[in-house]
Amino acid sequence: MLDLFSEDSPWQEPLAEGAVILRLRARDIAERLYQEILCIADQNPFVHRITPGGHRMSVAMTNCGDLGWSTDSRGYQYSERDTQNGRAWPAMPTLFRHLAQETAREAGFTDFNPDACLINRYEPGAKLTLHQDKDEKDMRQPIVSVSLGLPAVFQFGGFERGDATQRVLLEQGDVVVWGGPSRLRYHGILPLKPGVHPLTGAFRYNLTFRRAH
Ligand code: MD6
Ligand code: FE
C-alpha cells in the first residue's frame, strides 16, 4: 500500500536556492556505506591534519577517489597522493559514485562526475568552523554531502563569514546537495555531542563528493 504520509520515506527540504536536504535518502544503504568507509580507512587511516596556521583539526580525515583534499603547512589542496604518507588514495567505491550522481540529479544537477570524496570523522567535541568550499576548479559543479552515525548541527550561512546562519540537524542517511547560487555559502558543523550510535558508535561520519579538477 502506498502511504503518502509515512515518516519512513525520504523527503526533500529546501535550504536555499541551489541547496536541498534529501532527508534519509541514504538510510537504506548506510551499513554498506559504513563498511566501505572502514575498508578505505584500512588502506589509508583517518588522520587529524594540521592546518597551515598550525592547528590540529578536531575532525579526522581521509579520502577516496582520484584526488583527495588535505591540508599541511603549505596550505589546502587536492592531490593524487596523501601528502603525509605518499600513497595514492583508495579508489572511489561504485556505491559511493552512484549515490553521489543519483542524488545530484535528483537535486537538479545532471552530469555530476565526482573525482574526489573527502571523508570526515567527528568524535565528541569535534567541529568544523564556518568555511567556504572554494578549492575546486569548476564552481558550477555541486557538492554532495552524506551523513552517517551520530547527528550533528549543520550551520548554513551566507556569503560573508558574519552573515546569519540557519541551523539544521543532520542525521544518518541525510544527503545535502548544493551548488548553483549557493555554492560558495559559508557553512560549518557545531561541536559533536557525545552519544552512541548503533552503527558507528561514538562517531559521526560525513562524505563530501566533489569535482575537484
Ligand atoms: C560535514 N560538510 O557535514 C561538513 N561542505 O561534516 C561540509 O563541510 C560540506 O556538507 C560542502 C558541501 C556540503 C557539506
Ligand atoms: Fe565544506
Residue 39 placed within a domain: yes
Alpha helical stretches, state H, the chain? 30-43, 94-106
6-55: pLDDT as tens digits = 567 889 999 999 999 999 999 999 999 999 999 999 999 999 999 888 99
CA of 116 to the centre of ligand 1 (A): 13
Overall average pLDDT of the 2-6 stretch: 58
Q: Is residue 6 part of a domain?
A: no
Residue 178 structural domain:
11-210
- How many domains does the chain divide into? 1
Task: Please report whether residue 196 resides in a domain.
Answer: yes
Residue 3 in domain:
no
pTM as predicted: 0.95
What's the confidence (pLDDT) of residue 5?
Answer: 59
Q: Tell me whether residue 5 is in a domain.
A: no
Residue 146 lies in a domain: yes
- Please write the tens of the pLDDT for every residue from 122-158: 999 999 999 999 999 999 999 999 999 999 999 999 9
Q: What is the pLDDT of residues 71-129, one digit of tens each?
A: 877 888 999 999 999 999 999 999 999 999 999 999 999 999 999 999 999 999 999 99
With the most atoms of ligand 1 within 8 angstroms of its CB, the residue from 25, 109, 119, 143 to mutate is: 143
What does the alpha-carbon distance between residue 124 and residue 149 come to, in Å, rounded to a whole number?
12
What pLDDT is stored for residue 2 in this prediction?
57
Here the CATH number for the domain that contains residue 87 is: 2.60.120.590
Counting ligand 1 atoms within 8 A of each CB, the residue from 208, 209, 211 with the most, and so the one to mutate, is 208
For the stretch 169-172, contacts whose Cβ atoms lie closer than 8 Å and that sit 24 or more positions apart, written own/partner, are: 170/21, 170/206, 171/24, 171/147, 172/27, 172/30, 172/147, 172/148, 172/197, 172/199
| CB contact at 8 A, 96 and 44 | no
DSSP-derived 3-state class of residue 208: strand
Would residue 161 count as lying in a domain? yes
4 within some domain = no
Query: How far does the centroid of ligand 1 lie from the alpha carbon of residue 6, in Å?
Result: 28
